[in-house]
Amino acid sequence: MALERDKHTAQHALLTLHESQLLDLYRRMTLIRRFEEKTAEMYSRGKITGFCHLYAGEEAVAVGSIYALYDKDYVVSTYREHGHCLAKGADPRLVMAELFGKSTGISHGRGGSMHLFDQDLRFMGGYAIVGGGLPIACGLALAVSYNEGPEVVCCFFGDGALPQGAFHETLNMASLWKLPLVFICENNFYGMGTLVQNAISQEELYRFAEPYKMPGVRVDGMDVLDVYGATMEAVARARAGDGPSLIEAVTYRFRGHSMSDPAEYRSKREERIWQERDPIKNLRRRLLTEKRATESKLTEVENEVAATIDDAVKFADESPEPSMDELGKGVYASEDK
């Protein structure tokens, strides 16, 4: 009965999305895409240095899932985190400034691309260690459960995290304790350059939920509404005290693993096939076909996003470098920020 109730909640949410909400989904995905495109440009110009992993192509996963959360719900991310952070409501100015290594950055210039963090937004960080966010998400969910809070924790990770012991340990503990935790595996088929079939014995990744006695589902990670519906169902289950769920979102990154990866392990034909499934273009087409938005309204959204990104770059470029006096701060939890 609980699963039927949760599915009804998700279906109702999908049916009641109105035009302004659909436009908001489009705006959020477009914001992430334009942010990532501008990030690549700034990286090539030497404004951004270090490791940088772009999210272009996977926007429907971050936006669809986080749209199903409340503001006070927690999100734990990976090193490919720009999209999750922006979808959670971070100011593009602060995120871009962090990539520039400036003091005005969301992590005060200390974290860079892989370590965005905002406690007020309850965006609890990206983690450079593969699967490193899973135990942290479990701890957050345990704290929520211990305090009998209403919050849900949403934990993102890639397919490359599944062979890690932390994945299995976390799913086991979350199921045993019925923690309010939603696991979202972004399956883009490659752990760096390793094809998922060559690294994981179970190709249907959502089936890893079965031995840990939690619901598991595979969704189209290029369809924001499909992701939203599945996450609504999982969140309703978690919030009702029925425990965790595992969502496998099948998606595709349009760029290499990082800015330094030419992605020569993928064929051009494969890339073209997935680019035809671009989640932003598909939602745009759907909104026009179903007459849920006009061409002029969508263009207006796109122009607003472009202006927002240009402003973010200007802000980051003009922001000051961190002072050397700040170098040792934040090393220990007891210190001032």
String of DSSP letters for 98-131:
HHTT-TTSTTTTSSGGG---BTTTTB----SSTT
Give domain status of residue 330, yes or no: no
User: Tens digits of per-residue pLDDT, 205-244?
Assistant: 999 999 999 999 999 999 999 999 999 999 999 999 999 9
Q: What pLDDT does residue 100 have?
A: 98
pLDDT over 50 at 29, yes or no: yes
CA–CA separation, 117 vs 138, rounded Å?
Answer: 18
User: Tens digits of per-residue pLDDT, 285-311?
Assistant: 999 999 999 999 999 999 999 999 999
Return left, alpha or beta for 142; rule: phi > 0 is left, psi -120 to 50 is alpha, else beta: alpha
Give domain status of residue 335, yes or no: no
At 82, which CATH number? 3.40.50.970
Residues 185 and 205: beta-carbon distance below 8 Å:
yes
Q: Which structure tokens are listed for 72?
A: 């006070």
Strand, coil or helix: 74: strand
Residues 246 and 185: beta-carbon distance below 8 Å:
yes
Give domain status of residue 216, yes or no: yes
Strand pairing of 194-195 and 190-191?
antiparallel
Domain span at residue 263? 2-321
How many other C-beta atoms can be found within 10 angstroms of the C-beta atom of residue 325?
A: 7
Give domain status of residue 329, yes or no: no
pLDDT confidence band for 331 (50 / 70 / 90): confident
Give domain status of residue 328, yes or no: no
- What phi and psi, each to the nearest 5 degrees, are found at residue 158? -90, 170
Give domain status of residue 331, yes or no: no
Give domain status of residue 174, yes or no: yes
Give domain status of residue 334, yes or no: no
Helical ranges in the chain per DSSP H: 2-15, 19-44, 59-66, 82-87, 92-99, 133-146, 165-176, 224-239, 268-275, 279-289, 295-318
Question: In the block, which residue shows the tokens 């989904």?
Answer: 25
Domain count, the chain: 1
pTM: 0.93
